[in-house]
A and B are shown apart, each in its own frame.
Chain A
Amino acid sequence: EVQLVQSGAEVKKPGESLRISCKGSGYRFTSYWIGWVRQMPGKGLEWMGIVYPGDSDTRYSPSFEGLVTISADKSISTAYLQWNSLKASDTAMYYCARRGGVGTPKYDAFDIWGQGTMVTVSS
């Protein structure tokens, strides 16, 4: 079964660092882009950025560039989303999602989603 499994919910204080993870299984992890999407409480979906685990090529939304770091470790089929200094406004659900296969009609869609990681930042 193709799936993405994310790490568990986190509760952190402002200023703390955090890395959440997204582990792929059931497919060739290095051949598909993995994106990260933020959903603040009661709000819509916001694209944060994307990484290609095969060569670690990474692209960011201008809204999130410099605020987070996206990376991948292909040896363990895992993508990461990292903050160096959290703010209360980072409180949200974060999803990873697999982009469709290169050269396929699904290439510009996200066909597999993780279950989400809830991050709560509060003093």
Chain B
Amino acid sequence: DFQMTQSPSTLSASVGDRVTITCRASQSIGSWLAWYQQKAGKAPKLLIYKASTLDSGVPSRFSGSGSGTEFTLTISSLQPDDFATYYCQQYNSYSVTFGGGTKVEIK
């Protein structure tokens, strides 16, 4: 089974901190990875696609990198609006897999 492993599952940070979330794929997926932000009670929102391209309107403090099996989402300076849960996602041969999620909490 194809798997996406995200770490950490929970992250406590302060406003202004640099935050990094990692996503590992069980097999190579090239650069076909997306990142989403989900706030409590809301639908997920696309942040980054193709590993490093910011979706329209996404603040530049968000960045994505990686290829193959290892990917990262970085928030350069955490803002109050960024406290949320983040998911990675891959699409492979008509099968979609999400990572388990990383909850970013206020320290």
Q: Which residues of A contact B (CB under 8 A)?
A: 35, 37, 44-47, 50, 59, 61, 95, 97, 99-100, 105-111, 113-116
Contacts and interface: CB of A to CB of B under 8 A. Distances in A.
Contact of A45 (B44, B55, B91, B94): B44
Nearest to B95: A61
A79 to B, nearest CB: 15
Contacts of A107: 91
Interface of B: 32, 34, 36, 38, 43-46, 49-50, 53, 55, 87, 89-91, 94-101
A64 to B, nearest CB: 11
| Secondary structure of the B contact surface, majority rule | strand
A44 B87 contact: yes
A58 to B, nearest CB: 10
Instruction: Kindly name the residue among A37, A45, A95, A97 whose own CB sees the greatest number of chain B CB atoms within 10 A.
Output: A45
B87 A45 contact: yes
Contacts of B99: 44
A27 to B, nearest CB: 14
